[in-house]
Structure formats: structure tokens, C-alpha cells
Amino acid sequence: MRRVILAVTGTIAGLVALLSFKAHVPTVPVASTSGTGGSSTSSSSSSSSSSRTIPGEFQSAVDPLTAGETTITGKVANTVYGPVQIELVVKSHKIVKVAVLEQPTNTIHDIQIGEFAFPKLISETLTMQNAKVDAVSGASYTSAGYISSLQSAVDHGL
Amino acid sequence: MGTVVSFDAPDWAGRDAGSGAVLERVVQWLHWVDATFSPYREDSDVSRFGRGSLALADCAPELAEVLAACAEVSALSGGYFTTRPGGRFDPSGYVKGWAIERAAAMLTAAGSAEHSVNGGGDIQCVGDRGPGQPWRVGIADPLRPGSLALVVTGQDFAVATSGVAERGAHIVNPHTGQPAAGLASLTVVGARLAATDAYATAAFAMGPAARDWVESLDGYEAFAVTPGGQVWQTSGFQAYRASA
């Protein structure tokens, strides 16, 4: 795989080096590494809200109602706040939709973050792709868990 | 230090042999930096040195190198860069960019002529992203989350942005002890990330005065967004701006 992500300890992250989606062959093998006590892109035994998801594996499902679209499920990223899992819908090597399958809901704060931050992250993801940039400097709303799971989906799907 | 690092090495397309081992070494380097320099780890060299329980001579020699570099940036910036941003010893403002620059140098040494390494939005770009295709780095708009203020493009350059929007990374003006509030965000572009990132931190702490300061630095350009939404850039920044 061409892109590799490393989660060192897991709270702040730059959203977007992940988001230059180009239609060429991924190359560098995935070398995801778990940081001590932090998030990681490694698989997890956490249950998922998607029946298509096998932790640590990727499945693509083609929906006959939306021809040409492929759904890719990222690995569960374990963050210090809880598991995060992202799903992408891809068409012609472009992300057309990002969904959060799993996010921390242990506290009111977690829920507030989920309601506030994830829509921002999703909007950033799509904006960066449309701008055809290889990376973004100064991305405002960031989440290592979101990125780790999104990255794993991108690595396997684009 | 709580950062996600992402590597992009397009010239390794189709080259599987060896690249995994190289990345493994780079990843090990980043973990070593975290273990040695994290102020959040009680047993790191930085924490022990900061507490006075470990002499500099007994720390990893890289700490002395980092301290010397920090002292230079501090002197050059009139004290707007500090290794004690929150009162205790914390050279992270230099270490992050330095570690990413080193990671990119490791990829270069391993034979990659084209790559970028992104650590939490601080980015070192090497070569082009492909034949005739310079790297493109978006600069986030600090006042409109999810939007870009502009795109910078080029080859062999580093980009770092400091801002109020970076969660958990509020930059303090060392001269007042208060969070810097003169700018919404400030981006510095230069050749190498260690200095570029440290200058971005110092310049952000300066506020509006940063414009003249970066103008005085050879080989560095800046772009800033004010809290009111106005923008300014140094005289050479235009060369980095993508036309579209």
C-alpha cells in the first residue's frame, strides 16, 4: 500500500495526508504500528455496528441500487476514548460518502464530540479530496481514531 | 506526543521489496523520539532532565542537539520561542518538526527521491509527487473549518501551520504568559521542517509583528489569517501559491 499511517500516541492528528486519492497503484506495504497506550490501526475484537465488518479484514460490497459504488470498511481504531470505525463509499476512485460506524459514547463529552466533530471531519475529508491536495496543514478538527480507520479504508480501497 | 504521522512515497510505486523494512525503521525512529522526548511520559529523558533527575550528559545526545537548536530559534525570534511554554521543560515545539524532517531524510537515504511525511499537519515534501507534478498542500482556513484558505505547491519544501484551532496546542506568548491571540493561524513555508515548524510557532506567538520578522528571514515565507478574517503574506510567498 502506498500510504502508511502511524499512530504514535493518539490524541491530535493532522487530518489529511491521507486524502490525496489518486488512481494509481498503492505500493508501500502497510506497516501500521500501535503506539503505547494510544490509538492504532491494528485490528480489534470490538463489536461493530456493521454486519459486513470483520475486524482486521476488509470487505467490499456492491450495492446494486448504486452501481459503481463500493463500500469499504476501515479497521476499528482503538483510541484512548474507545473504538472508532469509518466506512467509505467509493466511486471511480473517489470518496463519495464517509460514515462513522462506531464511535466512543461512554460519556456525555464523547457524545458531544461525536455530534460535533465527526460531521466536521467528514466535511474536511470531502473538501480536501475535491481540492486535489496531497496533504493539509493546520487542519482544525482532528481525530487520530477517525484518521486511523479512514486511512485503513483508503489503503485498501483506493 | 499524540500525533499521527503519514508517509506518501509515490516513487516507490510497484516496489514492494525493501520498502517495508525502511518504513519499519522510520516508524521505530518516531517511537524512539516519542519515548525520549515526550513531556507526558514520566520516564522520558525530557521529563527526567526537566525534573533535574538526569544530567544532560546522561541523556540521549540528540537532546543536546535539540536544546542547541531551540536556543538558536529562541534568540532569533527575540524570545518568542521557548522550551518552557507551559512553565515546565517541553521542547515539543521543535522536536515534532525535527523528527518528521529526520524521517523524510531516512526515506531519502533509503533511495526515495519523492515523498512527503506529514505529522499532524506539519509536512516535509521531498522532490515532486510525480513527473511534472509538484506537491500540493492545502492550508486549512482557521475560520471556516473544513475549508481551505489556499493551496501551496512546489518541490522540496516544508509547511507548518500554527493556530488557535489546533486542539490542545494553544501557543502561549512567552512574554506575557497568555495564549497568543493576535492571529487565527500562521503558516510558514521553508526548505526544512524543523526550523520551519519552530518559526511558525514563534511567529504565531508574535502576532501581527510576525510579518516583518518572517520577512527578515532568508528562505522563509509566511501566510496568516487574522481573527477578523483578513489575510496577509510575506513578499515571497506568492511563489508557493497554486494558481487554482
Give me the residue label for grid cell 471556516.
B144
CB contact under 8 A, B3 and A127: no
- At residue B14, the pLDDT reads 61
**From B10, B24, B123, residue closest to A135, measured CB to CB:** B123
Do residues B235 and B193 lie in contact, with contact meaning Cβ atoms separated by under 8 Å?
no
The alpha-carbon gap from B20 to the nearest alpha carbon of chain A, in Å, equals 6
Q: How many domains does chain B have?
A: 1
- At residue B197, the pLDDT reads 96
**From A7, A17, A124, residue closest to B116, measured CB to CB:** A17
CB contact under 8 A, B140 and A4: no
Higher-confidence residue: B149 or A12? B149
Q: What is the CATH number of the domain that holds B174?
A: 3.10.520.10
- At residue B144, the pLDDT reads 82
The CB-side HSE value for A35 (13 A sphere, CA atoms) comes to 32
* Gap between the Cα atoms of B212 and B116, Å rounded: 29
Residue of B nearest to A147 (CA): B4
Kindly provide the ipTM of the predicted complex, given to two decimals. Answer: 0.88
CB contact under 8 A, B31 and A8: yes
Cα A66 vs. chain centroid, distance in angstroms?
Answer: 22
Mean pLDDT in residue range B184-200 = 97
pLDDT above 90: percentage of residues in chain A: 0
- For residue A30, pLDDT over 80 is answered with no
- For residue B124, pLDDT over 90 is answered with yes
Split at pLDDT 50, 70, 90, the class of A62 is very low
Closest CA to B49 of B3, B93, B99, B83: B83
Residue of A nearest to B166 (CA): A140
Is pTM beyond 0.80? Reply is no
Split at pLDDT 50, 70, 90, the class of B31 is very high
pLDDT above 70: percentage of residues in chain B: 93
Domain locations along chain A: 17-157
Q: Looking at beta carbons, which residues of chain B come within 8 Å of A134?
A: 8, 116, 125, 129, 135-137
**Residue ranges making up the domain that contains B108:** 5-240
- At residue B148, the pLDDT reads 86
